Amino acid sequence: MLIRYGGEFADVVIERAEGSWLTTTEGRRILDFTSGQMCATLGHSHPAILAAMQDAGSRLVHLYSGFIGTDVLDLARELMAVLPPTLSRAMFLSTGGEANEAALRLSKLHTGGHEVLAFTGSWHGMTAGAASSTYSAGHRGYGPAMPGSMVLPTPNAYRCPVRHCRDRCDFTCLEVGMELADAQSTGAPAAVIAEPVLSVGGIVPLPPGYLAALRRHCNERGMLLILDEAQTGLGRVGRMFAFEGEDVIPDILTLSKTLGGGLPLSATITSAEIEQDAFEKGFLHFTSHVADPLPAAIGRAVLQTVVDQRLAERAAELGSRLRTGLEELRRRHEQVGDVRGAGLMLGLELVQDRDTRVPDPVLGTAVTQRCLELGLNVNIVKFPALGSVLRLAPPLTISEADLEVGLEILDRALADARPVGGSRLHAATST
């Protein structure tokens, strides 16, 4: 009775969730190492979110899109307080795709161009413009992309896209990518849109210094730099925002997943100069739920909790502990080829052997299924060019004890799914 929108549904039905744990209709408990769809920053049913929902729900839920509620103004002010001064204008929407759509429309209107570059492993959403700049999946069978959509090689040193580097990116892929873009350009550049850590692309952090080099290329071509911090924003990578690790400020910043803490809320944030220019040119991006007050109240609660409880620092500390545990798993299990990421956003790449680094999607599926049977929810991304990578992104509020439980389950799942005699073991019994 449901349309399947991304493959088959899991063979469980969730009845409730609290903290880092899900409970099925059968009473099974599952430790959530994906924070829902990478959104539940504070975990499930966090008291601050529930209180904000109750308060806002009794005051103001929805408005005509030309009206602005107090929570929208307050959220904008509170976000500006933790952002660089140049990022001083915001609009609030429902999803990351919508936020990126608004960012792309702003960049095209401001620059007068229409050419947009994005990474080969990118995921920016499923709306028309965002989907055109999403290259990890979703292009085949849906007709032509937006005119001017072009790719840059993902700077993955473990799996170099131009077969040049091994374990250390020297930015050759960026130079090659920009040269190819220049060769294709009709002289109408608009923007580069990038994730500081590519998620669906296999948990690939941009190498140190890469973002600054990308910024220089944008400046030379009159392109805006859009950073999509849907998953990296609000503390997950051990900083409030991932771009803080580099001396680079984007022209446009988009937030979503982590801002709503599990509810549909996103933001497109830019400078006063770009906003003014776009306004004077008649910028139009009306949606039914732009600037909705109730989600804004939730965003305020999430932001305040992240700041007050120093969850960015906590993500750095727990992320270090999780990485140490994953490195130990890499020593114990030959099929673990690489561990990478930042803070509480880490990836475990599975390979057939470490010398050739051939991806092992069959093993990835088996490990994911076995984890679920054992009571741990992890997510696998598996595309031939991107590898087979387990994504681990538990809530920033997870306890150290639950972190250890997750590592123990993952250890056992890797052992149970290990190749034996050319076949995969996959235990069918759940515990």
Catalytic residue among 32, 89, 115, 123: 123
In the residue annotation, 338 being an active-site residue is answered as no
Q: Which residue type sits at 177?
A: G
User: Residue 421 corresponds to which tokens in the numbers above?
Assistant: 């005699």
Question: Cα dihedral sign for 23, 24, 27, 28?
Answer: negative
In the residue annotation, 195 being an active-site residue is answered as yes
DSSP collapsed to 3 states, the chain = CCCCCCCCCCCCCEEEEEECEEEECCCCEEEECCHHHHCCCCCECCHHHHHHHHHHHHHCCCCCCCCCCHHHHHHHHHHHCCCCCCCCEEEEECCHHHHHHHHHHHHHHHHCCCEEEEECCCCCCCCHHHHHCCCCCCCCCCCCCCCCEEEECCCCHHHCCCCCCCCCCCCHHHHHHHHHHHHHCCCCEEEEEECCEECCCCCEECCCCHHHHHHHHHHHHCCEEEEECCCCCCCCCCCCCHHHHCCCCCCEEEECHHHHECECCEEEEECHHHHHHHHHCCCCCCCCCCCCHHHHHHHHHHHHHHHHCCHHHHHHHHHHHHHHHHHHHHHHCCCEEEEEEECCEEEEEEECCCCCCCECHHHHHHHHHHHHHHCEECEEEEECCCEEEEEECCCCCCCHHHHHHHHHHHHHHHHHCCEECCEECCCCCCC
In the residue annotation, 257 being an active-site residue is answered as yes
User: Residue 250 corresponds to which tokens in the numbers above?
Assistant: 């984007």
Catalytic residue among 231, 335, 352, 369: 231
Catalytic residue among 32, 71, 98, 228: 228
Catalytic residue among 195, 251, 349, 402: 195
Closest CA to 218 of 363, 122, 110: 110
In the residue annotation, 309 being an active-site residue is answered as no
Catalytic residue among 159, 236, 257, 340: 257
Catalytic residue among 108, 236, 370, 391: 391
Which are the catalytic amino acids? Answer: 123, 195, 228, 231, 257, 391
